[in-house]
Structure 1
Amino acid sequence: MSTKVRVGAVQSEPVWLNLEGSVDKTISLIKKSAKEGIQVLGFPEVWIPGYPWYVHRSGRLGSADLKYDLQGGGQADSLKCVVDSPFGKIGGLNCWEHRQPLLRFYEYSQGVQIHIASWPAEFEMPDPEKQSWLYHETGEASYRASQFMAIEGQTFVLVASQIMTEENLAKNNCVGNHVTRTMGKTLCEPVGVGEEAILKADIDLRDIDYAKTFIDTVGHYARPDLLSLLVNPLAAKHVTTMK
């Protein structure tokens, strides 16, 4: 097996909610990539037929039928997320799966060499005075999560994300949607290179609760039925006496 591999990550707009159109576009992108010598190609999350942003906009009752249809996935028999290929061991995670430490660790344990980080369309930060939103829901945060996986897992990471153009905001029920007008900020402004300073900020610990209502990696967003951490709290000994 050659160690030289040409990889590619798709950043494109789906043919929203159109199965046939999405499949046709997928085939065209694969053919285009093949002509350019790409051997491993990553696609965004729910690329066919587009990430259903309208679910978040419709509320619990408005999206109940769709959520019911999507129940029954993600069981233990599908947890293996790395496959062998002629181009190396390829793995992949979608969206917030990148924020589950044990799931990332499990993928590393499978020897992943090329990781596909698949994301929906995400958005930049507007003026925080106009709209409050969590930083972890910005494109920048998602990119950093993907980049950290490369550092942590010693793997190449392909970041694939969707695009949502202005004319398709209405189709996704996202016109005026606060999700598409996200905000987030660092705790303080950075200082110049080589400049001595004490960086300071005022924080409110209750803000943590707000963040955890969206994603709590050791709470409601964990999967203890699939993954758990085994810790030995005792000091190790060279000799253990059996009783």
Structure 2
Amino acid sequence: MATTHPKFRAAAVQAAPVFLNLDASIDKAIGLIEEAAKHDAQLIAFPETWLPGYPWVIWLDSPAWGMQFIQRYHDNSLVYGSPEAARLTAAARKNKITVVMGHAEKAGGSLYMGQWIIGPDGETIARRRKLKPTHVERTVFGEGDGSDLAVWNTPQGRMGALCCWEHLQPLSKYAMYAQNEQIHIAAWPSFSVYRGGAHALGAEVNNAASQIYAVEGQCFVIAPCATVSKEMVEMLCTDDTKKQLLLEGGGFARIYAPDGQLMHTPLAETEEGLVYADIDLGMISLAKAAADPAGHYSRPDVTRLLLNKTPRDRVVVVQPDAPQDMARHGDDEAQLVSARTDMLTAVAASTRAD
């Protein structure tokens, strides 16, 4: 019997949050979720740290200047299991839609750049953290671990997610491709800072990164991208120099097919709204037939990737009455050491052969 491939409509958000206001931003998010559902979308994706907004202060001045915003940013970041988080799961369930929320995750005293995949039943499919915050982001956010380079089964297909310049990390991308990713969420903050100067931060390079990801991984890429609102500029740009660094707009939400084609008409960069595309996973097999980098188009005898997906918890509590758990963790470490040993042995053998 022939395989039938899932078909569905996806939506990518291009909008500004209510900056540093978690409750009001969740109100806005729920409105966008409802709008997407009314247009028959089964998946909606939000930009990087959309709750409570990307912390543009880190690009505008010194860390000392930016500290005036830090407590408010912490207080308005999302905590899993909180009443605010429950509002999002309820919205997904009510509208029967998969939601991928980009947010600042507060866990204990630290913040992480999170992506939360909520199923149409309101249940959590996955929670991930940006593996390595980029440049000055490291003054605000902590790091993820190898378990965050993962692809999950969802009602729409095998879905993965990365944030912003994680799409410039070749090894991380390859780790995702190798897990048979079909739908990729590429979350971006906004292309509003240092316009005209630092081209690597602009729309041309970063949209190209999303497009290349679609072609390399032979998957659909849903790339939400926030805008910077007039209110955000007024709050953050306290002098003329800052007003030249951070501009209003910067929204470039895109959805790309596995062959790299743009699947919709873009919105103007200052316009808020949703972009939609009708996804047919059957297109993937055509792209894979040409070049599958983790399959027939690879050369594992020449290059291979070592992926350690062991969660790296800061504190591991070992209970005396749980020898099986202790053994399991030991097995994980033993497997990692074995994999490293095998790789080093293979490299040494290859070197001797040369």
TM bucket (normalised to shorter chain) is 0.5 to 0.7
The one of 114, 120, 129 equivalent to 2:189 is: 120
The structural deviation recorded for 1:83 is 1.4
The answer to whether the 8 A contact 2:175-2:307 is kept is: no
The answer to whether the 8 A contact 2:190-2:228 is kept is: yes
State the SS of the aligned residue for 2:225.
Answer: strand
Distance 1:124 1:152 in 2: 28
Q: What runs of 5+ residues in structure 2 fail to find an aligned partner?
A: 75-108, 112-140, 248-305, 310-339
The structural deviation recorded for 1:57 is 1.7
The structural deviation recorded for 1:140 is 1.6
Report what 2:176 is aligned to: 107
Alignment pair present for 1:30 and 2:33: yes
Report what 2:8 is aligned to: 5
1:82-93 maps to which residues of 2 (within 5 A)?
82-93=151-162
Alignment pair present for 1:81 and 2:150: yes
Report what 2:206 is aligned to: 142
The answer to whether the 8 A contact 2:211-2:221 is kept is: yes
The structural deviation recorded for 1:176 is 3.5
The answer to whether the 8 A contact 1:124-1:140 is kept is: no
The structural deviation recorded for 1:225 is 9.9
State the SS of the aligned residue for 1:169.
Answer: helix
1:164-203 maps to which residues of 2 (within 5 A)?
164-173=228-237, 176-177=241-242, 178-180=244-246
Measured against aligned partners, the alpha-carbon deviations of 1:154-175 in whole angstroms (never above 9, x if no partner) come to: 0100110011133431223376
Aligned CA distance change for structure 1 residues 125 and 20 (closer, same or farther; 3 Å): closer
State the SS of the aligned residue for 2:222.
Answer: strand
Identical aligned pairs, as a percentage? 34
The structural deviation recorded for 1:64 is 5.9
**Greater fraction strand:** 2
Q: What runs of 5+ residues in structure 1 fail to find an aligned partner?
A: 182-223, 238-243
Report what 2:269 is aligned to: none
The structural deviation recorded for 1:95 is 0.8
- What is the TM-score of this pair, normalised by structure 2? 0.47
Distance 1:101 1:226 in 2: 16
**Greater fraction helix:** 2
The answer to whether the 8 A contact 2:233-2:246 is kept is: no
The structural deviation recorded for 1:27 is 0.9
Alignment pair present for 1:40 and 2:106: no
The answer to whether the 8 A contact 2:190-2:226 is kept is: yes
Distance 2:17 2:219 in 1: 27
Aligned residues: CA RMSD: 3.2
Distance 2:188 2:221 in 1: 13
Alignment pair present for 1:162 and 2:226: yes
Report what 1:19 is aligned to: 22
Number of equivalenced pairs: 188
